[in-house]
């Protein structure tokens, strides 16, 4: 066994130990867990000027962990990111050799269950701490061809999703379609909340006969079915009652001031489904998660690219 494999297996074991603590319920972090997460958030917020003011060796270690955490978030999502922040202190994470590490973590992450309590806790913590924005500042131009040690290349394309109905691309969508086909395993797309409102209004006109599936339990997300044969649907977590497109549009518009920008997280292997986190009350840390089907998220991205062009959309890899 190589030194790198041993280092990877050590961290993966720590990640799995933390993962098994979670179940389907959401619990507060322990004092130690909370400190480690906050330390990592501070590290992501630390600017180059602050890093440069530290000693050379310490600065190098903190930069390495900072980039590693950013790559974990952008490649594997908020739940894996949270586990990495809880697994060990920053000083210990800095001792793990980075070469090939993210590939090993990615392979492990695909084979283990993701407890609901872990996913919900991670989504809430990362949204409240503005992790997507911080990560986009650290790796703003990341793409699948990057060759840095901590960047994972899954060597896989986005799954082919046939275009149907109003979302069939025309010649002006050619560039947008090319961009979509080149997406990495997970894409963080930033756009204005007004763009989502426009998209929802268009859906209202296109699918006036959409239906809502009421949740069997009050705490379960309600689901909007726009077009069953096309797989166009959306779910809203933390929704106590059934809702329709009109209510969803009203919710988005009501909280535009709290959430002027939205992040669409797109894991292209489909697990979990693409989602948008909505900040309902920043003072209380109250958020909601809008989960989109693959086809609906693709339709939203085409809408964004077609309306503003890919060069005006902030994309973080």
pLDDT in tens, 22-54: 988 888 889 999 999 999 999 998 875 565 566
Whether residue 141 is predicted with pLDDT greater than 70 in this model: the reply is no
Whether residue 124 is predicted with pLDDT greater than 80 in this model: the reply is yes
Same domain, 194 and 312: yes
Same domain, 96 and 226: no
Measured between alpha carbons, how far is residue 217 from residues 30, 66, 114 in Å?
Answer: 29, 40, 21
Q: What is the pLDDT of residues 291-317, one digit of tens each?
A: 787 778 778 888 877 776 543 344 444
Give which of 161, 136, 116, 167 is closest to 289, Cα–Cα.
116
Instruction: Report the range of poorest mean pLDDT among 123-127, 138-142, 144-148, 257-261.
Output: 144-148
Measured between alpha carbons, how far is residue 163 from residues 171, 203, 208, 231, 269 in Å?
Answer: 13, 16, 20, 11, 18
Q: Which domain holds residue 8?
A: 3-138
Same domain, 130 and 172: no
Q: Is 297 inside any structural domain?
A: yes
Q: What is the mean pLDDT of residues 145-164?
A: 34
Same domain, 134 and 220: no
Distance CA 105, CA 73 (A): 12
Reading phi first (left if > 0) and then psi (alpha if -120 to 50, else beta), residue 278 is in: beta
Answer for the pair 239, 221: CB distance below 8 angstroms, yes or no. yes
Same domain, 169 and 310: yes
Same domain, 66 and 115: yes
| % the chain with pLDDT above 70 | 62
Same domain, 23 and 106: yes
Q: What is the pLDDT of residues 170-201, one digit of tens each?
A: 333 334 334 434 434 455 666 777 888 888 88
Same domain, 248 and 302: yes
pLDDT of residue 207: 77
Answer for the pair 142, 317: CB distance below 8 angstroms, yes or no. yes
Same domain, 122 and 200: no
Same domain, 134 and 197: no
Q: What is the pLDDT of residues 108-120, one digit of tens each?
A: 999 999 999 999 9
Same domain, 182 and 116: no
Q: What is the pTM of this model?
A: 0.46
Q: What is the DSSP letter of 160?
A: P
Distance CA 260, CA 98 (A): 36
pLDDT of residue 69: 94
Number of domains forming the structure of the chain: 2
Q: What is the mean pLDDT of residues 7-19?
A: 89
Q: What is the mean pLDDT of residues 238-251?
A: 70
- pLDDT band for position 165 (50/70/90)? very low
Same domain, 122 and 262: no
Q: Is 108 inside any structural domain?
A: yes
Q: Is 155 inside any structural domain?
A: no
């Amino acid at each position: 066994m190589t030194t790198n494999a041993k280092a990877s297996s050590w961290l993966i074991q720590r990640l799995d130990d933390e993962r098994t603590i979670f179940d389907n319920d959401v619990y507060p972090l322990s004092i130690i867990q909370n400190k480690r997460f906050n330390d990592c958030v501070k590290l992501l917020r630390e600017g180059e000027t602050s890093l440069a003011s530290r000693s050379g060796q310490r600065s190098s270690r903190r930069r390495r962990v900072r980039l590693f955490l950013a790559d974990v978030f952008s490649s594997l999502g908020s739940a894996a990111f949270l586990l990495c922040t809880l697994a060990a202190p920053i000083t210990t994470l800095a001792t793990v050799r980075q070469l090939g590490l993210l590939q090993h973590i990615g392979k492990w992450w695909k084979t283990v269950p993701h407890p609901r309590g872990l996913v919900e806790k991670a989504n809430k913590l990362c949204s409240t701490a503005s992790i997507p924005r911080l990560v986009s500042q650290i790796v703003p131009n990341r793409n699948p061809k990057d060759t840095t040690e901590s960047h994972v290349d899954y060597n896989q394309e986005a799954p082919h999703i046939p275009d149907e109905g109003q979302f069939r691309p025309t010649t002006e969508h050619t560039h947008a379609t090319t961009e979509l086909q080149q997406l990495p395993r997970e894409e963080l797309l930033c756009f204005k909340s007004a763009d989502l409102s426009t998209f929802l209004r268009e859906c209202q006109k296109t699918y006036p006969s959409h239906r809502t599936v009421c949740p069997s339990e009050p705490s379960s997300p309600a689901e909007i079915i726009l077009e069953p044969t096309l797989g166009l649907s959306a779910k809203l977590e933390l929704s106590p009652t059934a809702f329709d497109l009109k209510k969803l549009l009203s919710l988005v518009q009501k909280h535009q001031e709290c959430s002027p920008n939205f992040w669409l997280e797109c894991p292209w292997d489909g697990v979990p489904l693409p989602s948008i986190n909505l900040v309902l009350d920043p003072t209380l840390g109250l958020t909601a998660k809008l989960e989109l089907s693959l086809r609906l998220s693709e339709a939203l991205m085409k809408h964004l690219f077609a309306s503003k062009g890919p060069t005006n959309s902030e994309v973080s890899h």
